[in-house]
């Protein structure tokens, strides 16, 4: 019985080796050129930040937005009241009423002069004087009504409007505070958001407009370009839209366009991997690597047969649509790799 069991085990082992050899494929390890990526901080910025300013001076009666509010162009942000405007309106109404009384009197004088001239008991000069007096009063009424319209417009300008559509960043005033004309009531970030990068001067030659960058997940998470456990789908791609020609304090400034970052905070930082050069690497498919007791091995076909070679791995990348793992040590260019 024992001999039969040993024989069965040997046959199973031989069958397993035969199956693995039949299904195995070879991969020739070749040196390839990959783009060297560097992780830097990118800061979310708005294309434009415009202030909403008070058009009149007075007391802040009401604030209708807060930090983070979404506003549209023309929305009322705050209401500013100047108590003197109500008194000026009353004075303008009184002045208009007085001028209207003078206007009625001037019309009466003109009609009387016309009747007397028709009877031949007065001179033409009196009629001319009455016409001129009526014209003067009419012009005074028009001027007073225009002054009242100006006062009403100033009262309407107490409504502080949003100058553009966007998100409110700061509201530096509070209800009850007194402000002067032109003071800032709110700051609004308008336009789409982008990432601003500040890179060391040594990378100035490698950074070009149109280059592709990889943006990590929201926050300060490392972009998973060289991670063996995270999928590449966790990262998002962006494109370098502009490289500024001036180097300031040893730093190069570049702007990156990324889709769907409108819900980020302005000045929020996130990690971005940018291309800073190229290097030659030796890489194999991920399935060629097997790990045993914490050591990574690759099976290599030699003239003496197959053997497992211990290797040290680098990061993962894509080469012509195929996933590859960089081999730092253990293999040479041209080695025949046995794939399962």
- Listed by start position, the domains of the chain span 24-34+281-339, 37-48+194-276, 83-156
Describe the strand order of the beta sheet including 178-179 as a list of residue ranges. 159-161, 76-81, 58-63, 178-179
In contact, 54 and 80? CB cutoff 8 Å = yes
The pLDDT of residue 314 = 86
How many other CB atoms are found less than 10 A from the CB of residue 193? 20
Residue 318 to residue 127: CA distance in whole angstroms: 100
The pLDDT of residue 77 = 94
pTM of structure: 0.55
The pLDDT of residue 54 = 94
If one looks up domain 83-156 in CATH, what number appears? 1.10.287
Structure tokens at 318: 């894509």
In contact, 166 and 188? CB cutoff 8 Å = yes
The CATH classification of domain 37-48+194-276, taken from the options 3.30.950.10, 2.40.10.120, 2.40.30.170, 3.30.2270.10: 2.40.30.170
User: For the chain (length 340 residues), average pLDDT per consecutive 10?
Assistant: 40 38 71 82 85 93 91 93 91 92 90 86 85 92 93 92 91 93 92 84 82 75 45 67 86 86 75 82 89 91 87 82 86 87
In contact, 251 and 198? CB cutoff 8 Å = yes
Q: Which of 102, 93, 96 is nearest to 136 (CA)?
A: 102
Q: Which of 235, 243, 195, 212 is nearest to 37 (CA)?
A: 212
* CA 129-131-133 angle, 5° bins: 70
The pLDDT of residue 124 = 86
The pLDDT of residue 24 = 60
Residue count (the chain): 340
Residue 58 to residue 81: CA distance in whole angstroms: 5
CATH T-level fold of 24-34+281-339 = 2.40.420
Question: By three-state DSSP, how is residue 286 classified?
Answer: helix
The pLDDT of residue 258 = 85
| Ramachandran category for residue 68: left, alpha or beta (phi over 0 → left; psi -120 to 50 → alpha) | left
Q: What stretches of the chain show up as alpha helix (H) in DSSP?
A: 2-23, 83-119, 124-156
Structure tokens at 72: 């549209």
- Chain centroid to Cα 300, Å, comes to 51
Q: Which residues pair with 168 in a beta bridge?
A: 188
The pLDDT of residue 262 = 62
Report CA dihedral (291, 295, 298, 302) to the nearest 10 degrees.
-140
The pLDDT of residue 295 = 92
Task: Let me know if the fold of 24-34+281-339 is the same as that of 37-48+194-276.
Answer: no
Kind and range of the H or E run holding 26: strand 25-28
The pLDDT of residue 29 = 85
């Amino acid at each position: 019985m024992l001999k039969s069991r040993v024989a069965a085990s040997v046959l199973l082992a031989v069958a397993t080796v035969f199956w693995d050899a039949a299904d195995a494929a070879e991969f020739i390890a070749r040196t390839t050129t990959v783009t060297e990526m560097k992780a830097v901080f990118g800061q979310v910025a708005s294309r434009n930040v415009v202030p909403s300013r008070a058009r009149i001076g007075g007391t802040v009666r009401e604030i209708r937005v807060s930090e983070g509010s979404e506003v549209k162009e023309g929305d009322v942000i705050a209401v500013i009241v100047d108590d003197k405007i109500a008194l000026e309106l009353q004075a303008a109404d009184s002045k208009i009423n007085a001028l209207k009384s003078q206007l009625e009197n001037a019309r009466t004088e003109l009609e009387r002069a016309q009747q007397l001239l028709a009877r031949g008991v007065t001179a033409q000069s009196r009629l001319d004087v009455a016409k001129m007096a009526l014209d003067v009063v009419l012009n005074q009424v028009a001027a007073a009504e225009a002054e009242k319209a100006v006062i009403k417009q100033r009262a309407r300008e107490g409504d502080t409007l949003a100058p553009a559509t966007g998100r409110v960043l700061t509201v530096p005033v509070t209800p009850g505070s007194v402000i002067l004309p032109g003071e800032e009531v709110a700051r609004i970030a308008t336009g789409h958001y982008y990432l601003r990068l500040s890179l060391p001067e040594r990378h100035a030659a490698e950074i070009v407009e149109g280059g592709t960058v990889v943006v990590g997940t929201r926050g300060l998470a490392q972009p998973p370009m060289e991670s063996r456990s995270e999928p590449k789908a966790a990262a998002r791609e962006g494109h370098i839209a502009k490289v500024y020609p001036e180097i300031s304090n040893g730093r190069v400034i570049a702007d990156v366009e990324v889709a769907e970052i409108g819900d980020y905070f302005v000045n929020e930082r996130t990690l971005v991997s940018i291309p800073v050069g190229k290097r030659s690497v030796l890489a194999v498919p991920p399935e060629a690597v097997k790990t045993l007791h914490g050591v990574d091995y690759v099976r290599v076909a030699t003239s003496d047969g197959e053997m497992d070679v211990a290797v040290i791995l680098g990061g993962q990348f894509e080469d012509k649509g195929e996933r590859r793992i960089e081999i730092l040590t253990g293999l040479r260019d041209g080695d025949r790799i046995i794939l399962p």
